[in-house]
Amino acid sequence: MSNTPELTPISYLVLGLVARGASTSYELKQRVAGSVGYFWSFAHSALYAEPARLETAGLLTESREAHGRRRRMYTITPAGRDALEAWLREPTREPTQVRDLGLLKLFFAGLIDEDAARELARAQAAVHRERLAAYEAVAGAKAQSPDDLYPLETLRMGLMVERAFVAFWESLV
């Protein structure tokens, strides 16, 4: 059956990564860590469960190594590529979620004294400055290889958000 059985964002993420090249779960994990993982992360075990589900749905095929570790290698099927492309072409109105615990704490900062609130701002500013520096390093390294244009663009957006956070927290200090 090639009817789309409720795919989640992680489904498409896996589909997309496998579309760029057949992979084992471990390879997926590494590729996520170096790219999308910066803004959309999850437990590595999801990368074992999800391909299995996609295989059941006929969107991936699995082939196991004959010897040694007998790792499962996943490849995208034509149906998988169709589902992925259809999803990519369809715009979304899903609201953007910015899940930042610091922000959530700030929301309730009226319940603690002002000094503690300021301290929170200071700490979060420091964390985001660190993160920004790390992203900038990654971006600098990736900017050399001009393939992978779009992943680089999402990284650029990540940088913009981090800069906004730094500016925001610093404005509160």
Partner DNA sequence: GGGTACATGTAATCAGTTACATGATTTA
Partner DNA sequence: TAAATCATGTAACTGATTACATGTACCC
User: Which entry of DNA, a second copy, none binds 45, CB below 5 to 8 A by partner kind?
Assistant: DNA
Length of the chain: 173
Q: Applying CB under 7 A, does 70 fall inside the site for DNA?
A: yes
Q: Applying CB under 7 A, does 103 fall inside the site for DNA?
A: no
Nearest to 16 by CA among 4, 5, 32: 32
User: Which entry of DNA, a second copy, none binds 139, CB below 5 to 8 A by partner kind?
Assistant: none
Give whole-number Cα distances, 30 to 42, 47, 55, 96, in Å.
12, 10, 21, 25
What backbone torsions phi and psi does residue 21 show, to the nearest 5 degrees? Answer: 155, 130
70 or 93: CB nearest DNA: 70
Which of residues 4, 12, 16, 48 is near DNA by CB under 7 A? 48
Contact region with DNA (CB under 7 A), list: 63-71, 80-88, 119-127, 151-159: 63-71
User: Which entry of DNA, a second copy, none binds 161, CB below 5 to 8 A by partner kind?
Assistant: a second copy
Nearest to 82 by CA among 15, 6, 151, 13: 15
User: Which entry of DNA, a second copy, none binds 142, CB below 5 to 8 A by partner kind?
Assistant: none
Spell out the long-range contacts of 150-153 with Cβ–Cβ below 8 A and sequence spacing 24 or more: 151/35, 151/36
Residues at the contact surface with DNA, assessed by CB under 7 A: 6, 8-11, 24-27, 30, 41-46, 48-50, 53, 68-72
